[in-house]
């Protein structure tokens, strides 16, 4: 699924609901040339985001710093971080985008949230993933797996997605 015209409030908060209350995950295949503006404008959201570039190269801008992410590589963008995505030189660029509520990772009252999720949320704005580094390649493969599982909707896909997200968290 792709949102072609992302609604953004004057505060730059994205107004898209990513998933629902029972399964707060948004999974998208973002083809930048199909967006109404040809790129993803500056915005932020409460969800953490994992992106895997599957075609071309994308410039992700976070806090006025630019990162070129080429095909096969990816990026993690933390909750509340203003960011945008543009194709390089108007080339045909596409990426898988997974937006996940931090509360889906673990309930705030559990030790997993305290020891891992909260630490991640306060320690960094982003992580770049390079397909040539083994542990990062593992995460990129898991992002692809999340996308595939979500698209196929086989029985138990929600459980597989939760397990895979926790595996990513463990890798980080």
pLDDT tens string 87-126: 987 678 899 999 998 888 767 677 887 777 777 777 788 9
The model carries a pTM of: 0.87
- In whole angstroms, what separates CA 75 from the centre of its chain? 7
2 pLDDT band, cuts 50/70/90, is very low
CB 146 within 8 A of CB 105: no
Task: Please answer whether residues 92 and 58 qualify as being in contact, where contact means their C-beta atoms are separated by less than 8 angstroms.
Answer: no
Distances (CA, A) of 22 to 18, 53, 141, 152, 158: 11, 28, 25, 19, 10
Distance from C-alpha of 147 to C-alpha of 30, rounded to nearest angstrom: 12
Give 15's pLDDT tier (boundaries 50, 70, 90): low
Q: Quote the pLDDT of residue 131.
A: 98
Chain centre to alpha carbon of residue 56: 17
């Amino acid at each position: 699924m792709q949102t072609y015209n992302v609604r953004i409030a004057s505060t730059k908060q994205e107004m898209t609901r990513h998933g629902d209350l029972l399964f707060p995950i948004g999974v998208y295949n973002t083809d930048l040339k199909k967006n109404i503006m040809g790129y993803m404008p500056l915005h932020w959201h409460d969800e953490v985001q994992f992106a895997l570039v599957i075609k071309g190269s994308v410039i992700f801008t976070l806090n006025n710093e630019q990162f070129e992410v080429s095909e096969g590589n990816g990026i993690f963008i933390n909750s509340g971080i203003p960011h945008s995505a543009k194709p390089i030189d108007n080339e045909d660029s596409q990426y898988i985008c997974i937006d996940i509520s931090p509360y889906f990772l673990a309930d705030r009252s559990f030790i997993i949230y305290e020891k891992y999720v909260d630490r991640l949320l306060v320690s960094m704005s982003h992580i770049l993933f390079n397909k040539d580094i083994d542990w990062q390649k593992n995460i990129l493969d898991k992002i692809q797996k999340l996308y595939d599982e979500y698209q196929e909707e086989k029985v138990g896909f929600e459980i597989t997605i939760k397990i895979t997200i926790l595996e990513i968290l463990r890798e980080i």
